[in-house]
Amino acid sequence: MLLTCDGREAWDSAMGSAKRVGFDKMTPLFLCDSPLSYKRENYSLLFILRQAMQPEEKYLFTYKGCYFQREIVSVEYLDSLEDFEIRDSDVFLVTYPKSGTIWTQNILSLIYHEGHRDGTEKVDLLDRAPWLEYNIRNVDYVSRPSPRLFASHLPYYLVPKGLRNRRAKVVYVARNPKDVLVSYYHFSKIAVRLEDVEDFGIFMERFLAGKVIPSLWLDHVEGWYSHKDDFNILFLTYEEMKKDLRSCVLKLCNFLGKRLTEKEVDAVVDQATFNKMKADPRANYEFMPPDLMDHSKGHFLRKGTVGDWKNTMTVAQSERFDSVFKERMEKLPFKFCWDIHEES
């Protein structure tokens, strides 16, 4: 949109009188939880902000309250997941995006596959623990041998109904949402089929409004935790994994019923360190084709630290974030570290 010095001519042209009256009435309500104020002299900026808050339809579509990547998954396939046949030996890793998904995928693969631990089998991580809702390689999941490992960003109400028989296992990993936000922002720049939102402030507002894949962070975490009794589920946090990876690996082994020797546990912990994974093309998703991932702009695994949000978010943005999330986060059972030096 072309703006004049005060934006009014372009705004008038774009809106028209009827829409302008409605915008004047609704914008103060839209900003009620925001530090922004509505002033007539700033209405062109507010109009642009509101438009920017809407994800472009060429990238995403909504399905039962969640956003999904267009062209990678269809409504028909998502419909079919409700009746996807679950085996008692199945293991599902569930996360909100950028919460340590690839890291935990790798850990689970190392726990289950000796050939992964000793390096005798050169198999991509995506083949060891594929995505349930994004079957980009068109694999016949039914023909896969047990035990099957899957990864997913689905909310609790969209996973196969067979998971609720409490036999198959679910591992849920949560991460402090400020680090999730910053990591998600950088990831969107290398993911070809995600909209590259240049302005971090606009991306943050979309994140706070749940207008990103799959939905609002709070809804995803709260949903899974509040329905924990419906599933055979183990909750971990990214921060506790960073603090004591070995203890978390042992906790996973105990939950999964996997008995590893001390030497095997050592191998899992060693190969699951961030530097080892980043140097491994199979673990760093470097096998992803260029029509999905632009590796020239960055790596799937970027920093893998706790507290990196402080290098991106301003004080005002952090306060804005807290004003939206703080009250509901206080009711969550998880202890999130906000800084790498903070005691958990």
Residue type, 27: T
> What residues pair up with 233 in beta bridges, in sequence order?
170
Q: Using H for helix, E for strand and C for coil, what is the string for 109-122? A: HHHHCHHHHCCCCC
Is 227 catalytic? The answer is no
Contacts of 164 (CB under 8 A, 6+ apart): 230, 231
10-48 in b/e burial notation, b at 16+ Cβ within 10 A?
bbeeebeeeeeeebeeebeeeeeeeeeebeeeebbebbb
Task: Tell me the C-alpha distance between 17 and 161, whole Å.
Answer: 50
- Sequence-ordered list of residues with C-beta below 8 angstroms from that of 177, at least 6 positions apart, any chain: 217, 218, 321, 325, 329, 336
116, 153, 186, 220: the active-site residue? 153
Q: Quick check: 248 and 241 in contact, CB under 8 A?
A: yes
Residue type, 282: R
- Say which residue the tokens 């609720």 belong to: 164
| Residues classed as catalytic | 153
